[in-house]
Structure 1
Amino acid sequence: MRTILLLAAATILIAPAMAAAQPVAQAQPAPGKADTRLKAIYDAEWDWRLKEMAREEDEEGRDIASDRMPRVDAASQQRRLAYWTKALADVRAIPKSDLSAEEQVNAAVFETMVEADINDIRYKNYEAPFNSDTFFWTSFTPRQGFKDAASYRRYLGRLRDVPRYFDEETVNMRAGLARGFTVPQVSVTGRDKTIEPYLQTGEENPLYTPFKDMLASMPEAEKARLRAEARQVIDGQAVPAYTKLLAFIRDEYLPKARTNIGASTLPDGKAYYQAMIEKFTTLKLTPAQIHKIGLSEVARIRAEMEATKQEAKFEGSLAEFMTFLRTDPQFYAKTPHELLADASYWVKKADLKLKDTIGFLPRYRHGILPVPPALAPIYTGGRGGLESCLFNTYNLPARPLYTLPSLALHECTPGHSFQAALALEGPDRPAFRDNIYFSGYGEGWGLYTEWLGTVMGIYETPYQNFGRLTYEMWRAVRLVVDTGIHEYGWSRDRAIAYMKENVALSDHEITTEVDRYIAWPGQAVAYKLGELQIRRHRNEAEEALGPKFDQRKFHDAILALGSVPLPVLEARMKQFIADGGENPPRPATAP
């Protein structure tokens, strides 16, 4: 049984192991059998990786969390660095021309993944283990209950391990403070408040959430035992660990965090920023090239915005139109339910159009939920996932309804939640490929689906189309702002001003986004670069294939790959055109 794709904003987070392991099997396959050699390397690496991540496989072969938290201490990081350096060298020693077509893809994915893992450790990203909206202290909080008692017991094991895990993270952060490698102070001010809910005891603690939603079929006596044990572990071990962490973050880390914001000001900062760009985009583009692309896209989209403003019959400048959109009550929900209901409408409208848009449709369906209250004040407007698609109902005057169609397409269907369902039901691949996420591919597809909404007939008013353009402009502006901050020394105020000039988002959203770019160098540029490449591939296919072009087959060709580096997507699209717009027979899905 294949494992489930874990959606995240970067390559999968790898946790260190309890014990050392050898990178590859010692026994070498017969000479000349390149596929066998490669498979031996990545299969061994996956088994090792599960231990490093504190993960295991369930009875269906799905990747699940074990009964402990990962090790994140410096010694474990260095052991991983040695392992991956050896594994990468072993793969690169295999002549690619000797590999089958499928194994060439596997090799490219593996190399890109491991190279990113290596760079994360070389630059010691683990010494700054959180950013403006993603926190190690909230990342393991379940949204709902577990499927069986064994899963609850594993979860309780993880909670018992929280004190050790937090202590290791704290040691790492102190090392980062000592060398000036921290999350920028301005981008994480106030984020300590996300720890406060975890100081509550008993059933009010967010960690208790899964015990409020236990299976009806589970015996009542077992439920009672597990709930009692949960209250004991949360109160006795987790709450003291969170209390200690909050004191460190609030009293030591935040006051001493760096006040400069550009990645290029960090130790070996220029090389570090280039490595992060390549990690997230999987492309060999320089900051200067990306900045230039961003300026060009901003100019193009601005012209489309002017045309849409005219379509809306608004008399006034583009700046005045943006002010109107930011401030007129007609564009904002009055209750959280209204926003969630509106989001649900757009998801269902997209569902109606799927049969004409994509050939292979998964059976799995996601739900719509609000962002948890503990995260909502500093969280993005929405985020997709296999089980549910989240929408932020905090501060409703900052959540315009005219951007909801684009947000629903990107995060839910046919964007990230849809991608996750496809991964669940797709063809068998090596386990490491089912648990990797490349932002250039995944976020590129998400942004492409926002434009695809114009083809699907999703947008109903000029305001909603302007909302789409606002989101596209937002991603184009990122190319300018991210490189401006991390390569050209822009201040936070300059970045905010540039966004306000070009994007019809609320002041709250703009500030939150700029802080995210400050804290997460390179990640934000992947969206637009991936989307531009997919739209280019579509234009090339339409021009080359003419009436033979079928967008369902085109989209299947992209989605059937799974998450891959953008150069791999480029090669696949060339083959798609060469094959006359046809795809090979779809492999059987895993049972």
Structure 2
Amino acid sequence: MKRILLNTAVSISLLSTLAPAISAFAATTTAAESPADTRFKTIYEQEWQWRLAQRLAWDDDNPRAADGELARVDAGTQQARLAYWQDVLARLDAIRPDALSAPQRLNYAVYRAQIAALAEAQRYREYEQPVNADSAFWSDIMYIARRPLKDENEYRTYLRQLADLPRYFGEELANMRAGLARGFTPPQVTLTGREAPLVAVAEARTPQDTVYWTPFKAMPPTIPAARQDALRAEAARLIAGAVQPAYAAALTFVRDEYFPHARTALAAERLPDGKAYYQSKIVEYTTTTMSADRIHAIGLAEMAKIRAEMTQTMAQAGFQGELPAFLTFLRSDPRFYARTPDELLMRAAWIAKKFDGKADQYFGYLPRKRFAIVPVPPDQAPYYTSARGGPGIYLVNTYNLPARALYSLPALTLHESAPGHAFQMPVALEQKGVPPFRRAYISAYGEGWALYCERLGSEMGIYETPYETFGMLSYQAWRAARLVVDTGIHAKGWTRAQAQAYLHDNTALSDHEIETEVDRYISWPGQALSYYLGQMAIMEARKKAETALGARFDIRAFHDTVLQIGAVPLPVLAARIDAFIAAGGTSPYPPSK
């Protein structure tokens, strides 16, 4: 399986040439290779191999991904990356898109935007802030300990990664110092408690008590016992002598220097070159050139529509009273909350299986990849979102059960598992003949699809009570509120309390979730805008197809078309649906058998 995590944006100047390319692509996916195709393929194939060597993406089939060295993140390397991507952009701009074959024109539109976004992040030196309220390099790197290891070679690679970890941490801390010196940090208020993963490793009593011991708890029986013992002994030595001291040094730095001196202003527009920086994040995360003012207005208008739906659903539930009283009732009545972590996990599993029984009614192509339902690791859970999903996994946060409402669990499960992230991502990964850069995750597309799936739950009959329907509407309001809150904080001078109050008054989220979510928006400008704008684009495309095709409209064919193109900027998706309509609404693939 190839995996890339990346956000990107579309170059608006390309859109005039894009629609014809998508229309042609709908008719055929094969075409004679032009000289421009050859030049373009050379550029992206070379850049991809360079990207793998830089550890900026990884390919499980590529041996470079498993040589045991962690990524280089020092300032010199970062500046060299900026120069490399700027050169790639210059070479791309020397190619006329209309000289490319139809499939390559589509690839060009996605790829150029992707490289532009990567270059912009380097130009603003985002690497000097490798921490926010949602994640940090010291917790992100823990993925190396949580991946299953199959043989002795993979264990030895893992040990080399442990040995390299102090070098990697040192470079990240140097980047943080540079960001601190120019005021490029997350707001101080969002960092409270975010050192917990550092504490868990640095102050662990023994190496065996750290997450880095995970691969050694149960080793493959194909490794002889004597070698298992030797590998475990080396792991204990490296964790105690390299990993834990690196975590301890980072813990001292963030407690004594970074957190106390982080910036106090919240707005991205208060950062160096902040207005342009925030607009660059809007372009990256929404794949549009909308202004903050326009997005704010859309959020307010959509919130008004959702409030009207909420009122109708309250009446269906038989509640006598106003919305604030209903929200208080939902947040406080024990019937709406699991009593144990296992109960929450089992309810999530039940909802996921309900979808399985309806999947073939709404999708022709079903991914082969299954997913497991597992709790969020305890060292991350207090500040983690309610759940996350992806290829092979649906992570459910079982921390603070009174904050995990069961009436919202159906919408959450549809979003994070199937047909949301744990369904959409495998569909994209299973496509054949797609350049590896096309497997990148584009937030507006991926989050827009997952939010659309929450709405789709009403059609599928997933929501069985008015309370569960209200939970879905609360989640819709939550994402519409993000348009208001994100732009309010980063462009309109909103305070943290003002943002929290807006979510409290307009959604059924618990106070704990509201606090963690607002801190996430404060420290991760623009990302929260992806969801609702992406959903709006998909729903508008569907309405257009339903109107144009009438009785010929097939929901399975529409969903297959949206998913089979993979993660693309929203204007590219709109052009693809236009081609779908022009072709008579046929599915790009036959139904799975």
Q: Normalising to structure 1: TM-score of the pair?
A: 0.93
Q: How does 1:343-358 map to 2 (within 5 A)?
A: 343-358=348-363
Aligned partner (choices 476, 480, 495) of residue 480 of structure 2 = 476
Tell me by how many angstroms 1:571 deviates: 1.0
User: What residue is the counterpart of 1:551 in the other structure?
Assistant: 555
Give 2:323's aligned residue: 318
Of 409, 429, 450, the match for 1:404 = 409
State which of 374, 380, 395 in structure 1 corresponds to 2:379: 374
Is 1:159 the counterpart of 2:162 in the alignment?
Answer: yes
For the residue of structure 1 that corresponds to 2:121, the secondary structure is helix
Match of 1:51 in 2: 53
Q: How does 1:286-365 map to 2 (within 5 A)?
A: 286-365=291-370
Q: CA deviation at 1:419?
A: 1.9
State the partner residue of 1:20.
none
1:198 maps to 201
Question: Which secondary structure state, in structure 2, belongs to the residue aligned with residue 384 of structure 1?
Answer: strand
Question: Residue 90 of structure 1: CA displacement?
Answer: 1.0
Deviations 1:138-166 (A, max 9, x none): 11223352122222222221111111111
2:2 corresponds to: 4
Distance in 2, Cα, partners of 1:94 & 1:172: 36
User: Partner residue of 1:182?
Assistant: 185
Distance 1:455 1:56, change over 3 A: closer
Structure 1 range deviating more: 419-428 or 567-576: 419-428
Secondary structure class of the residue paired with 1:493: helix
Cα gap change, 1:363 to 1:467, in 2 (>3 Å): same
Map of 1:170 onto structure 2: 173
Q: CA 1:335 to 1:585, structure 2 compared with 1: closer, same or farther past 3 Å?
A: closer
Q: Is the 8 A contact 1:41 1:87 kept in 2?
A: yes
Secondary structure in structure 1 of the residue aligned to 2:367: coil
Q: Matched residues in 2 for 1:311 and 1:586: separation?
A: 40
- 1:145–1:213 CA contact under 8 A, matched in 2: no
CA distance in 2, matches of 1:470, 1:217: 50
Question: Does the CA contact (< 8 Å) of 2:442 and 2:569 recur in 1?
Answer: yes
Instruction: Indicate yes or no: 2:41 matched with 1:39.
Output: yes
**Matched letter for residue 128 of structure 1:** Q
Partner of 1:465: 469
Q: Distance in 1 between matches of 2:110 and 2:488?
A: 30
Letter in 2 for 1:321: F
Match of 2:519 among 515, 522, 531: 515
Structure 1 residue aligned with 2:236: 231
> Is contact 1:133–1:378 with CA below 8 Å preserved after alignment?
yes
Q: Secondary structure at the match of 1:67?
A: coil
* Cα distance per residue 1:393-449 (max 9 Å; x no partner): 000001101111011111111111112322332222112222x11100000001000
2:580 to 565, 569, 576: 576
The offset of 1:40, in angstroms, is: 0.4
Inter-CA distance 57–301: structure 2 relative to 1 (3 Å threshold): closer
The CA distance in 2 between the partners of 1:305 and 1:370, in whole Å, is 30
Identity across aligned pairs (percent)?
A: 53
Q: Unpaired runs of 5+ in structure 1?
A: 13-30
**2:3–2:59 CA contact under 8 A, matched in 1:** no
Aligned residues, how many? 565
Structure 1 CA distance for aligned equivalents of residues 226 and 467 of structure 2: 55
Cα pair distance change 1:108/1:63, threshold 3 Å: farther
Q: Is the 8 A contact 2:73 2:172 kept in 1?
A: yes
1:224 deviates by 2.2
SS of match in other structure, 2:139? coil
Other-structure match for 2:283: 278
Q: In the alignment, residue 111 of structure 1 is paired with which amino acid?
A: R
List per-residue Cα deviations over 1:284-305 (Å, max 9, x = no partner): 1110110011001100000000
Q: Matched residues in 2 for 1:75 and 1:257: separation?
A: 24
Q: Is the 8 A contact 1:132 1:378 kept in 2?
A: yes
Conserved in 2, the CA contact under 8 Å of 1:7 and 1:385?
Answer: no
Say yes or no: does 1:566 pair with 2:586: no
Q: Match for 1:261: what amino acid? A: L
Report how far residue 65 of structure 1 moved: 5.0
In structure 2, what is the Cα distance between the partners aligned to 1:378 and 1:210?
25
> Residue 259 of structure 1: SS of its match in structure 2?
coil
Aligned residue identity for 2:134: D
- 1:267 offset after TM fit, Å? 1.0
**Counterpart in the other structure of 2:458:** 454
TM-score by length of 2: 0.92
